[in-house]
Chain A
Amino acid sequence: MMAIPLFGALAMLVPADRFLRTGFAVRAFGTGVSAATLLVAVSAMTAFDFGDTSRTQLQADWAWAPAIGLRFHLGADGISLPLVVLTALLTFLCFLYTLRHPPAGGRIRLLTALLLVLEIGLIGTFTALDLVLFFVFFETVLIPMYVVIMLWGGDGRRAAAAKFILYTLLGSGLLLAGMLLVAVNAGTLDMVQLAARHGSGVSRGVQITAFALMAIGFAVKAPMWPLHTWLPDAHTEAPTVGSVLLAGVLLKMGTYGLVRVALPLAPDGAQVWAPWLGLLAVIGIIYGALACLAQRDLKRMIAYSSVGHMGFVLLGIATLTPVGINAALFGNIAHGLITGLLFFLAGAVKDRWGTTDMDAIGGGMLGTSPRLASVLTFASVASLGLPGLAGFWGEMLAMVGAYRPHADLPRAAFVTFMAVAGIGALLTAGYFLRMLAKITHGTRPAAAAAPGAVVSAQEYAAWVPLIALTLLVGLWPKTLLDVTAAPVRALFGGG
């Protein structure tokens, strides 16, 4: 699965005059490569035995550096499979979108190669079953994303890119220390074995330290308040495809890591820190919502809304119950679909109006470009958690989980968190409706430039799958919950 993007990325090294001379050919090539990857991912999904989702399937396992006990161990289970498919899908859609709308800044060959490397890193992170391997893939993502922001970003890209990479590297340094702390105490790097032990053999003190280190590492990525400040800048400045992948998949690495690495490796540590995690999560929800209310820039607003949504995901994880974790994983996928869609739309808005400033866009989008506006309305409504759409279930289940947290956690605190999160959900509705009121409704300002072309086929192609999936998991949440439920139960030692 990863070999295909790797070959694709290597092919981009072939000099321009020998292979794929035009920019369009390169983009088509990228689309083809990512489509092939998506096909492999989907076929992996069909090969996957859904009757036994808690077992790690489709494994590949080779010794890599036996001296330090490192193995090249990949595999997928119910927790990682949806994310792998999401990654492959979003990358493919990004290429499809680029086919017609290449970002300003040229050098399309480099962009294609970087996006493919990014895809390798993401899929690798979600499938790695060896701690060091996980870390290698986790880091692989950084440089390509940095370059994407740096070369194709907006005006403040230099600062944004530097902030992005420094923040996340700090996180991953601490993450490495935490992971190795558990690994050397437990004597293995294999995540399957470590998870099966449920932390036995590692002393409580070590677990507390290790969980704190790992949680900070993942929290930077997720991002959790107050470590989120890199995110709005990076999202705002990144080109459309960069934002989509950043919001759609990169953030999931943080929450996925918490569920896959931090919880099973240091369960005792998790119990100690869970209330704090929950507290920071709800602060993130409220803070993200309030910050959104104050934004004038569309992309920045969506970025802050990510902080809020990831707050729900983190709250779900903090409850340490199967319901909460399921909610978190569900929220992950839902957020990936919806926010991916929102950033595509923001990119489309920027293409047409040349700005993402909401005041400058003015109102009346429904009148001038009805299709774009209705898709935007749909995405916003999904994002604010309308029942029947994907965003709803993640938030609701997270709150349900918080109402009945793990037996060892302070229930009063979590019920408070739940109440506050509810207010946050209300605020979320508030700012999305404000946004819609501002730009889709109302009258079009006379002075505004005529909006650009109608929605192109490629844009439809990029949007429709996301819309369809949002509806699908919203109306039949069972499709997704069934896949994740069993491995989550296994995570807590149950059958």
Chain B
Amino acid sequence: MIQGIDYAAIAPPLIVAAAALALLLADAFDAPRRVLGLACGGSLGAALVAVIALAPGDRRATFCVPASLRGGGPRSCSYVTDDFTLLFQGIVLAAALVVVLLSLQEITDAEIPAGEYHFLLLCAVIGALTLVAARDLVLLLVALETLSLPVFALVGLRRYDGRASEAALKLFLVSVVSTAIMLFGISLVYGTTGAMHLDRIAPALDRVPSDLDPVAAVGAVLVLAGFAFKVAAVPFHFWAPDVYNGAPLPVAAFLSVVSKAAGFAGLAIVLALGLPAYGHVWGPVIGVLAALTMTLGNLVALRQRTAIRLLAWSSVAQSGYMLAPLSVGSHRLPEAVAATTAYVALYAVMNLGAFTVVIGFARRGLRGARPHRDTLDGFRGLAHRSPATATALAFFLICLAGLPPGVMGLFAKVVVFRSTVAGGVTWLAVIMAINTVIGLYYYLAWAVRLFTPPVRPFTDPLPGWPVRAALAATAAGAVVLSIAPQIVLQTVSAAT
């Protein structure tokens, strides 16, 4: 049987895939590094343009179940391009573009093979793009793995560094375990409903026979595991600090923003489209996970002395905030999804910004020697050396803490609080309030260091233009969104 494919709908991942192959080939013919990097960035830009071009259009769907096999059920398409998908694809591509900018210098400094690096990065982006568009469990799983597998390699690309290998192995093991759990969950859900497409699972779960009810409930909870790993939620969080520390820094940025955004998109898709019937089961589970994640992340972040580990633990904590709205279960779920999405979008800007500054100043490219500049005290006196950078970092940190003048972060917190409270999970909102304070302490402690006199003078060169461009872009984004947070809030509520 022949199926028509809507190529416009799958244009963004297609462009990136073509570019990935071309890059791999070009590398084989010894194309210069710089060209590879620009081509990589260019392809992401092209995909972003495709996403923007698709945005005004209608909802597109492809890879549907043919009419002859539908049997009166819904259309059941595997790949859907709606506003939600496009929004997340936009976030993923824009963030990936910044990551590529950040990588250019790091590749040279850390002697990473450029061709492989860009190829793997683009492959992971393909996974993320597909994940946010997938509407059946198989495609979701495949996309999730497409996102994960290249990242193992990316993390381990600095082969001379023992920590990188350890990080890659750790990431791999946790990932495999969580995927196995998720697969088990999928098989249980499939067993009870006989369907893989989310739009078929949802009605089927509404009329599960009572003896299969526990099976379906267990299945629903286990399916979450795969995504819990991606977003680094407790108990699948402990890869994060070591991996962030061991991986090349741009890869850490990729993990904390792109991969996390895709994970949340997948989680929202599965929960909102496939499993709303079991909201009373997974709602409380997510609530507890969110509370544990934010508390643990924040408490451990308090004790960190290096910038990158602090960012790692704080991004674990931030995952907790993003999970919180989803704990409402099926009660006012669309609002909760909108809140999570808004938080993810805003978080992407501020966290990438913080990573940019850290990369710009931790990059002291000598082989293997991760410099002490990495420690928080190494940031002392940054304000005297380059006031603009220090101000930008302080601004990002305050945004992450969620205080004015970082209005963006404040609004991210407000929407999350609002939908959590609206869903009747007030206890979680209280825990979140306490966690905000803990978070503020370490963000502020770091921000204050920027303005204290340096321990020793800075002698390092300024970062190159790509990092500065990335910094300018993220800072501009943060300022604009702080003045007009409604840009994100409106888009999000229109899309979900």
Contact = CB atoms under 8 A, between A and B. Distances in A.
Contacts of B407: 136
A435 to B, nearest CB: 35
A182 to B, nearest CB: 9
Interface string A167-196: 001100110110011011000000000000
B421 A65 contact: no
B434 A173 contact: yes
Interface string A63-77: 011111010000000
A177 B433 contact: yes
B490 A173 contact: no
A170 B439 CA distance: 11
B405 interface: yes
Interface stretch (B176-184, B271-279, B412-420): B412-420
Interface stretch (B83-91, B370-378, B422-430): B422-430
Interface stretch (A139-147, A258-266, A286-294, A306-314): A139-147
Contacts of B403: 139, 142-143, 169
A11 B454 CA distance: 29
A162 interface: yes
A166 B444 CA distance: 10
Contacts of A176: 413-414, 417, 433
Contact of B489 (A68, A135, A165, A184): A68
A68 B444 CA distance: 29
A229 interface: no
Contact of A170 (B426, B433, B490): B433
A238 interface: no
B432 interface: yes
Given A66-B490, A68-B489, A143-B403, A169 B430 contact: no
B404 interface: yes
Given A169-B440, A177-B417, A65 B410 contact: no
Interface in B430-484: 430, 432-434, 436-437, 440-441, 444, 448
Interface string A408-444: 0000000000000000000000000000000000000
A184 B421 contact: yes
Interface in A181-231: 181, 183-184, 209, 213
B408 to A, nearest CB: 11
Given A136-B407, A165-B444, A169-B437, A68 B426 contact: no
A485 interface: no
B398 interface: yes
Task: Select the residue from A68, A121, A162, A169 with max chain B CB neighbours within 10 A.
Answer: A68
A150 interface: yes
B493 interface: yes
Identify the interface centre among B414, B433, B494: most chain A CB within 10 Å of its CB.
B433
B340 to A, nearest CB: 14
Contact of B436 (A70, A117, A143, A169): A169
A162 B492 CA distance: 35
A234 to B, nearest CB: 15
A132 interface: yes
Given A140-B404, A165-B440, A165-B444, A181 B490 contact: no
B429 A166 contact: no
Interface string B195-214: 00000000000000000000
A181 B422 CA distance: 7
Contacts of B489: 65, 67-68
Given A65-B490, A139-B403, A176-B433, A184 B422 contact: yes
Contacts of B422: 180, 184
A146 B394 CA distance: 14
Nearest to B430: A177
Nearest to B490: A67
B432 A181 contact: no
Interface residues of A, number: 32
A177 to B, nearest CB: 4
B486 interface: yes
Contacts of B398: 143
Contacts of B433: 170, 173-174, 176-177
Contacts of A143: 398, 403-405
Given A143-B404, A143-B405, A209 B426 contact: yes
Contacts of B338: 67
A70 B489 CA distance: 11
Interface string A53-68: 0000000000011111
A68 B490 CA distance: 8
Contacts of A121: 404
B440 to A, nearest CB: 5
A135 B490 contact: no
Nearest to B422: A184
Contacts of B414: 68, 132, 135, 176, 180
Interface in A112-149: 117, 121, 132, 135-136, 139-140, 142-143, 146
A177 B485 contact: no
Given A132-B414, A150-B448, A213 B430 contact: yes
Contacts of B492: 67
B415 to A, nearest CB: 6
A162 B444 contact: yes
Interface in A216-253: none
B406 to A, nearest CB: 9
Nearest to B494: A67
A213 B432 CA distance: 13
A250 to B, nearest CB: 15
A177 B493 CA distance: 21
A187 to B, nearest CB: 10
A162 B417 contact: no
A174 B436 CA distance: 10
Contacts of A140: 404-405
Contacts of A166: 437, 440-441
A139 B410 contact: yes
Contacts of A65: 411, 485-486, 489-490
A173 B437 contact: yes
Given A166-B441, A169-B436, A181 B405 contact: no
Given A143-B403, A162-B444, A165-B444, A67 B486 contact: yes
A162 B449 CA distance: 13
Which of the listed residues B338, B434, B436 has the most CB atoms from chain A within 10 Å of its own CB?
A: B436
A351 B72 CA distance: 86
Contacts of A174: 430, 433
A136 B410 contact: yes
A407 to B, nearest CB: 30
Contacts of B493: 67-68
27 contacts: A65-B486, A65-B489, A66-B486, A67-B489, A67-B494, A68-B415, A68-B489, A70-B486, A135-B414, A142-B404, A165-B440, A166-B437, A166-B441, A169-B403, A170-B433, A170-B436, A173-B432, A173-B433, A173-B434, A173-B437, A177-B430, A180-B417, A180-B418, A181-B421, A181-B429, A184-B421, A213-B430
| Across the A-B interface, the 3 shortest Cβ-Cβ residue pairs | A173-B433, A65-B486, A67-B493
Given A66-B486, A174-B430, 13 more contacts: A67-B486, A117-B405, A135-B414, A139-B410, A143-B403, A143-B405, A170-B434, A173-B436, A174-B433, A176-B433, A177-B421, A180-B414, A180-B429
